[in-house]
Amino acid sequence: MGVYEGGSAKLMEHLCTSFLHLVDSFEGLPKPTVKSDGFPNGSFKVKPDRFPTFGENVTIHKGWIADLAPQLQFGPVSLAHIDVDHYQSYKDALAVVYPQMISGGVLLFDDYGFPRCKGARTAVDEFFDDKTESPVLLNTKQGIAIRRV
């Protein structure tokens, strides 16, 4: 979730042995909802000429996560890479993907330790506050959690 110009998604396509779902508004980031969201509305808007072509095992879901939520039934998810920068977008992404994660599935939070994305970390920490899992900050400034069912 959060594709931007598709660089990470293209790498995942090569590593993926089953289906890959990409979710992005393709409009850039939404308007910040909390002061700790560090990027303005429209940041990271995709330039169509920079977006790669994907194979048939890749499904692209275009729109805002909250609006797409009823359609985003992926089945069992083993890896979720969330790179949506803002507080509310992280809340929306976790509400969709967490219930679909398999036991041992990996949730990777791209913005978890970045100072300009403090809203992302707050959203992740709040989400896991009543869960058995706890996100861990990596030295890359990303965060990770392993789903326990």
The domains located in the chain, with CATH, are: 7-146 (3.40.50.150)
The beta-strand segments (E) located in the chain are: 20-24, 58-62, 77-82, 101-109, 136-137, 143-146
- What pLDDT is attached to residue 139? 97
54-94 pLDDT tens trace:
999 999 999 999 999 999 998 899 999 999 999 999 999 99
9-48 pLDDT tens trace:
999 998 887 899 999 999 999 999 998 998 989 899 987 7
Helical H segments across the chain, by residue range: 7-15, 65-68, 87-97, 118-128
pLDDT bin (cut points 50, 70, 90) of residue 104 is very high
For residue 149, is pLDDT > 90?
A: no
- What pLDDT is attached to residue 49? 81
pLDDT bin (cut points 50, 70, 90) of residue 50 is confident
For residue 114, is pLDDT > 80?
A: yes
One-letter amino acid identity for 47?
Answer: K
Residue 19 CB partners (closer than 8 Å, separation 6+): 57, 58, 59, 74
- What pLDDT is attached to residue 97? 97
> What is the pTM (predicted TM-score) of this model?
0.92
